[in-house]
Structure formats: structure tokens, C-alpha cells
Structure 1
Amino acid sequence: MRNSLKLSAIAVLLASLSACAVGPDYQTPAKVADISFTSPYQQADQVQSWWQAFDDKALNQLISRALAENRTLAQARANVDRAYAVFRDANNDFLPKGSLDAGYQASENATLAENDNGVIIRGYSAGASLSWDLDLFGKLRRATEAAAAQAQQADILWHDAQVQLISQVATSYGEYRGAQLRLVVAEQNLQNLQQSRAIVMARMEAGMASELELTQIDVQLHQVQAAVPAYRVALLTADATLSALLAQRPGRLSLGAVPHLPELTKPVAVVAGENYLRYRADVASAERVLAARTAEIGVATADLYPNLSVRGFLGFLSGPGLALNSDSQSWSVAPTLSWQAADLGSVKARIRQAEASSQMALAQFEQQVFNAINEMQLALNSYNLSREQQLSTELQWQASKKAMNIARQRYNAGSGEFLALLDAERELLRSRDQLAQLQQQSFIRLVGIYRSFGGGIQLI
């Protein structure tokens, strides 16, 4: 009866000790300098579909192929699998470990005694070996917490890789269409200049224009022609970038020759009171790193206390006869209590290292929050200003086109100055090319809004 009570008391004591876990319990930072942050990371539903608001079939196909074929994304997915495998390995440390073993041993002169000279001893063993580290102070639990946080971080980074890939494809697509548009604009401008040159030639033949006027229009014509190769290089660069993102060789894209930059039918809107930080994978990733570093303090702190482990064997031991029966049955149990009492200085140093790493992770997380807030605000402001500039340039282009038509009519009728026509042509070329650049810029900055908000921005 007394033995049963003692065993029960020991079991209760071990259970109570195992329920303890040294080190600080992790608490998600709820406030960063008056900026609220709520964990865990929430992937917005529209992250995987926001680009469809542009209703551009070519863009939809590019992104679908990139998500399926991109090698960097595949690497991030494999990293998630690896991280969760590490977590499962750490989580299994709570359970007893065992192996099935069979062995043979032969020895001669096993001792220094004269009677053992020339004596050969042979023996066989077969059975199960078991070991169990009792997690008295939560070292294994803290290690599991750290592994779980790191696995969650890998999962978050995989989702972030998708957001970044989609944004890169959309940006490169905008650069491709923008280069196409500027090339078409240049070709249209060349046609306009050639029409003006034909008018000058006709007036020269009639004795109403000089060779200087023809030379001046040729200067402008060659200037536009010289810009065409730069547009073609930009087109090839965008093609190469898109091809790399889709894991294919360059020159195989079939995007069509019609230059059209996607536009939204509805404006983007920031919902008042919405916590967009929860859509930011970089912020959530930094928070998971902080959780892992906090758990590692407990892993280091547990070494201040003794560690209890149990080793055991159950099987058979026999001599040369290899008789596996009740007479050769063997078992052993070996509890071991170990304590790094002579090395507590190193243990405390490792604790300080873990605490410093946790402080570093906290500072990184706080900085990431501020970076995210400013990046989101800058993306919104940049896009709004780009749209204002684009609308003004559109009006400028319309006015330039009207001025050029009037100057050409007057010059053709003989009542206008050639310099006025030349200036009108030059202004029309500049404003139309600038408008094409701003259309590309507005699209890319719109993509930047989605990227900076983690895909959590809404349409109204």
C-alpha cells in the first residue's frame, strides 16, 4: 500500500513538474507606438484575384501561368514543407524513443586475469531499447513553440511570395504594354512628321519654302527615329523579365500587338477603421520571428535545472548457443538525472543571448510596422499624384493636337509661319510621349498599392 502511495506521489510530482515551462510566455504585441496590430496574419481573399478587376485576358493568363510555373514560388512552397517537417520532428520529442536491435559480439582476453588468456567469448543480444527525456521544465515544449512559429513564418513567406510574384508579373506586363504604346506613338509621330515634310517639299517645289525649313523638319524626324530603338530595347527587356517569371525562354510570349494599358473601371478605396497591417506578410513574418525568439529563451533557461531521462532495454541475451527463452530474457531500467551545475556560467550566457535575440526581433518587428505604414501611405499618395499628372497631360495633349492642326492648316494655306508649325509638331510629340509614360506609371503605381497593402485593398 505504501509503495503504491509512493509511486502515485512520484507520478503526481512528475506530472506537475512537466506542466511547468520556464521562460516568458509569448504575448503578441498589441500596440506599437499607438499603432494597433492584430495577429495572426490574414490573407485577403482578393490577394489571389485582385488583378482580375482590370478585365485583361492576357494579364490573367500570365499570372495564372506564373503561379503554376515560377521556380521561386516553388522554392518557397518547398520551404514550407521543410519547416513543418522540422516542427513535427520537434513535436515528437515529447514521446519515448525506441529501436529494435540485434547484435553479435566476440572478444578474446576480455580481462587481465591469467585464466582468461586465450578465452574467446561470444554473445548475442536482441530486443528493444527505449529512451525517454521527461520534459520537467518545458525545454521541449519551448523548442516546439519555436519550431511552430518558424513553420508559420515559412507559410506566411510563401503567401508573400505569391503577392510579390503577382505584382512583379503585373508590373512587367505594364512595362511591356507601355513600351508597345510608346513605340506606336513614335510611329504615329513619324507619320505626322512625314506628312509635314511632304507639305514642305511641295511648298519648296512651288518656291514657297526654303531648304532650311526642310532641314529643320528632318532634324525633328530623325530625332524621333533615334528614340525608336530605345523603345524596342524596353520591349525586349519586359519580354525577358516576364519570360523569366513564367520559367520559359524569351520571345515566346503571345500578348498581341495592340498596346493597351489596363485600367480600373472603379477607383480603389481605403476603408476607414480597417487594420491593413494584418494583410502585410512582412509584418506577420516579423511577428512570428519574435514568437520563435521568445520561445528560445525558455529553451536556454531550462538548462538551469536538472534533466531527467530514462533508458531501458527489454529482450534476450545469450551465449554461443543462441537460446532465446525465459532463461536468456533480460531487461534493464536506468533513470538518469543530469545537471549542468559546473557550467551554469555558460548556461546564463546562452540565456542572455536568447534574450538579446528576442529584443532584436522585437525592434525588427516594430520597425517593420512603421515601414509598412509609411509604404502604404506613400503608395496611395504616389498613385493619386500620378493620376492627377496623367489627367493634366491628357488635356495638354488634346490642346497640342488642336494647335498642331491649326498651325498645319495655316502653313498649308500660306498664312502661317513654319516655326509655328515646327513648334506645334514638337509639342505634340512631347506631350503624346509623356502621356504614354504617365499611363504606364499610373498602372505600375496602382499595382504598387495592391502590393503595399498585401492585396487587402478594396474596390468601390
Structure 2
Amino acid sequence: MRNILKLSAIAVLVASLSACAVGPDYHTPAKVADISFNSPYQQAEQAQSWWQAFDDAVLNQLISTALVENRTLAQARANVDRAYAVFRDANNDFLPKGTLDATYQASENPTLSPDDNGVITRGYSTGANLSWDLDLFGKLRRASEAAEAQAQQADILWHDAQVQLISQVATSYGEYRGAQLRLVVAEQNLQNLQQSRAIVLARLEAGMASELELAQIDVQVHQVHAAIPAYRVARLTADATLSALLGQRPGQLKLGSVPNLPELKQPVAVVEGENYLRYRADVASSERLLAARTAQIGVATADLYPNISVRGFLGFLSGPGLTLGSETQSWSVAPTLSWQAADLGSVKARIRQAEASSQMALAQFEQQVFDAINEMQLSLGSYNLSREQQLSTEQQWQASNRAVQIARERYNAGTGEFLDLLDAERELLRARDQLAQIQQQSFIRLVGIYRSFGGGIQLI
């Protein structure tokens, strides 16, 4: 009974000491202490649904394929598995470890004594070797905390990689459709110029126009012809980028020939009072890195104190007869205390390194918050200005189109000047191409809003 009480007292003492953990406990920085970060899975659900608001079947298919086939995303997923395996390994350090061993040994002339000449001895041992490191000062606990935070960071980074991939696919798709649109616009402008050239040529043959006027209209025709290869190169570039993101070879994608840029049926809305930082995977990732660096201070600090471990053996030892039985049973217990007393200078240096790493992680986290806030505001402002520019350019294009019609009718009737027609044609070409560029720009900036808000922005 007394022995049982002693063992119970020792167990309680060890458990009490193990409940202590040196080093600072982690607390979310005050700047974002009121933000409840979503779990990575909630972030991913919203981040992987916003693009469906465009109701573009081709874009939907591209993104679905990219989420399955993209190799960078597969690498990030494998990194999550690796990080959680590291965490499970660190978390198992709290438990006793052991191996099952069986050893056979034979030797001749085991000593230098002449009496042992030619003597062969044999021995056999089998049993369990056990070891247990008592986590008296929380070194193992802090290491487990750090590994868990790093695993959570890897998980968040994987979901952030999905957000970035979706944004890249949507942006490249917009660039492809934009190049298609500019190519179609150039071909339409070329047809319009050919109509004007036919009028000039007819008037030239009738003696009502000059060779100079025909040469001037030909200049614009050749300018449009010269721009067409650049649009085709832009389309090929966007196709190659999309193919790489989807893990395919260039030219295999079936994107169709209709050059329509996706548009929202409803405008986006920012909810007043909503803290969108909680949707930002990069902010959440930096916060988890800070938690890991804080825990590593405790790992380094624990080396200031002694470490106690217990080693033991339970099994059988046999001599020359190689028999196993109750008479050959064996056990041993060997408590060990180790302390880096002669190397405390190095221990303190490692603590300072861990503290500096924690300060670096804190600064990185705070900067990430500032960058995220500014990026969200910039994306909204840029998109709103782009929409204003697009509306103005649409009105400019409509006015230019009317001006060309009027100038062409007047010139054909002999009541208008050729220079007026030439200027109107030139302005129409510029306005229509500019409108195509701004339509592409507006779409890409809209994608930028969703990316900068982590997919958390909603439609109204």
C-alpha cells in the first residue's frame, strides 16, 4: 500500500511539472485581436464560388479543370500532408517509445585466459526496450504547438493557392477574350475602311477625288492590317498561359470563337462594418507563422532547465544453454538527468534567435495586414474608375460611329470634305479599340477585387 502511495505521489508530481511550459503563451496581436479568422475550408468555399457569378460555362470549365490538374496546387496539397505528418510526429513525443528487439550473439575465446581457448559462448536476448522523455518544462508541448501552427499555415497556404490559381485562370481568360475582341474589332474596322475606300475609289474614277485622298485612306487600312498580328500574338500568349495553368499543351483548349468578356448580372457590394481581413488567407497564414515562432521561443527556453528521461528493458536473457524461462526473465530501469549547464551561453543565444524570429514574424504579420487593407481599397477604387472610363468610352464610340456615318454620307453626296471623313474614321478606329481594351481591363480589375477580398465579397 505504501509503495502504491509513493508511485501515485510521483505520478502526480510529474504530471504537475509537465503542466508547466516555459516561454510566452501565444496571443493574437492587438491590431487584429477582434478578427475571427475563418477556417481554411470556409475560406475555400467562398473563394471557389465567386467566379460562378459570371455565368460563363467556358470559364467554369477552365477553373474546374485547373483545380484538379494544376501541378503547383498539387504541390501545395502535398505540403499540407507533409506538415500534418510532422505535427503528428511531434505530438507523439509525449508518449513513451519502445522497440521490440531480439539479439543472438556467438563468440570464441571471450577472454585472454588460456583456459578459454577454443571456448565458444552463445547468448540470446529478447524483449522490449522502452524510453520516455518527461516533458517537465514544456519543451515537447511547445514543439507540438509550433508544428501544429505550421501545419495550419500550410493548410491555409494551400487554400490561398486555390484563390490565386482561380484568379490567374480568370485573368488569363479575360486576356484571351480581350485579344479575341480586339481582333474582331480590327477586322470590323477594316471592313468599314474598305467601304470608305470604295467610296473614294468611285469618286476618283468619276473625277471627284484625288490620288492623295486614296493614298490617305490606304494609310489607315495598312495601319489596321499591321495591328492584327499583335492581337493574334496576345491571343496565343493567353492560350499558352491557360494551358500551363490547366496542365495541358497549347492549342488543346476549346474556348470557342465568340469574343465576349464575362459580365456580372448584379454589381458587387462591400458590406459596411464587415472586416474582410478574415477572408484573406495570406493574413491568416502570417498569423499562424507568428504563433509557430512564439512557440519556438519556449522550445529554446526549455534547454535552460534539466531534462529527465527514463530508459527501461523488459524481456529475457539467456546464456549458453539458449533456454528461455522464468529464470531468464530480466528488467531494468535507468532514469537519466541531463542539463546543458556548461553550454548555457549557446542556449541563451538560441533563445535570442527564437525571440528575434518571433519579432520578424510579428512585423511581417502587421505589414501583411497593412498591405491587405491597401490592396482591397486599391482594387475597389481601380475597378470603379475603370467602369467610369468604360461608360465614357462607350458614349465616345457611339458618337464616333454617328460622326462616321454623317461624314461618309456627306462626302458621298459631294457636300462634305474628305479630311472630315478621314478624321472621323480615325477617331472611330481609336474609340472602338480603346473600348475593347477598357472592357478587358474592367473584367481583370473585377477579378482583382475578388482576389484581394479573398472571395469574401458578395453580390447585391
Alignment TM-score, normalising by the size of structure 2: 0.97
**Residue equivalent to 2:392:** 392
How far does residue 155 in structure 1 lie from its aligned partner after superposition? 0.5
Task: Name the CA distance, whole Å, in 2 between partners of 1:113 and 1:364.
Answer: 71
- The yes-or-no answer on 1:97 pairing with 2:97 is yes
Task: Name the CA distance, whole Å, in 2 between partners of 1:177 and 1:126.
Answer: 73
Aligned with 1:37 (options 27, 30, 35):
35
Task: Name the CA distance, whole Å, in 2 between partners of 1:286 and 1:250.
Answer: 36
Structure 1 counterpart of 2:131, one-letter code: S
**Residue equivalent to 1:380:** 380
The 8 Å contact of residues 66 and 246 in structure 2, kept in 1 or not, is answered as yes
The 8 Å contact of residues 290 and 362 in structure 2, kept in 1 or not, is answered as yes
Distance 1:342 1:107, change over 3 A: farther
**Residue equivalent to 1:420:** 420
**Residue equivalent to 1:46:** 46
Give the secondary-structure state (helix, strand or coil) at the position aligned to 2:383. helix
Task: Name the CA distance, whole Å, in 2 between partners of 1:353 and 1:451.
Answer: 35
The 8 Å contact of residues 181 and 260 in structure 1, kept in 2 or not, is answered as yes
**Residue equivalent to 1:164:** 164
Structure 1 counterpart of 2:36, one-letter code: T
**Residue equivalent to 2:21:** 21
The 8 Å contact of residues 30 and 38 in structure 1, kept in 2 or not, is answered as no
Map 1:267-416 onto structure 2 (within 5 A).
Answer: 267-416=267-416
Map 1:129-144 onto structure 2 (within 5 A).
Answer: 129-144=129-144
**Residue equivalent to 2:248:** 248
Task: Name the CA distance, whole Å, in 2 between partners of 1:111 and 1:357.
Answer: 57
**Residue equivalent to 2:155:** 155
Give the secondary-structure state (helix, strand or coil) at the position aligned to 1:31. helix
Distance 1:117 1:349, change over 3 A: farther
Task: Name the CA distance, whole Å, in 2 between partners of 1:407 and 1:142.
Answer: 80
Task: Name the CA distance, whole Å, in 2 between partners of 1:197 and 1:356.
Answer: 73
How far does residue 320 in structure 1 lie from its aligned partner after superposition? 3.1
Task: Name the CA distance, whole Å, in 1 between partners of 2:302 and 2:52.
Answer: 52
The 8 Å contact of residues 41 and 284 in structure 1, kept in 2 or not, is answered as no
Task: Name the CA distance, whole Å, in 2 between partners of 1:253 and 1:342.
Answer: 67
Task: Name the CA distance, whole Å, in 2 between partners of 1:16 and 1:248.
Answer: 59
The 8 Å contact of residues 182 and 433 in structure 1, kept in 2 or not, is answered as yes
How far does residue 175 in structure 1 lie from its aligned partner after superposition? 0.3
Structure 1 counterpart of 2:105, one-letter code: Q
**Residue equivalent to 1:261:** 261
The 8 Å contact of residues 30 and 37 in structure 1, kept in 2 or not, is answered as no
Cα RMSD after superposing both structures = 1.4
* Structure 1 unpaired stretches of 5+: none
Task: Name the CA distance, whole Å, in 1 between partners of 2:109 and 2:86.
Answer: 47
Identity within the alignment, %: 86
How far does residue 331 in structure 1 lie from its aligned partner after superposition? 1.1
Structure 2 counterpart of 1:326, one-letter code: S
The 8 Å contact of residues 301 and 351 in structure 2, kept in 1 or not, is answered as yes
The 8 Å contact of residues 99 and 128 in structure 1, kept in 2 or not, is answered as yes
The 8 Å contact of residues 38 and 278 in structure 2, kept in 1 or not, is answered as yes
Task: Name the CA distance, whole Å, in 2 between partners of 1:58 and 1:406.
Answer: 40
The 8 Å contact of residues 41 and 281 in structure 1, kept in 2 or not, is answered as no
For residues 336-380 of structure 1, the C-alpha deviation after alignment (integer angstroms, 9 at most, x for no partner) is: 111111111111111111111001000000000000000000000
For residues 180-202 of structure 1, the C-alpha deviation after alignment (integer angstroms, 9 at most, x for no partner) is: 00000000000001111111110
How far does residue 258 in structure 1 lie from its aligned partner after superposition? 0.8
Task: Name the CA distance, whole Å, in 2 between partners of 1:329 and 1:364.
Answer: 59
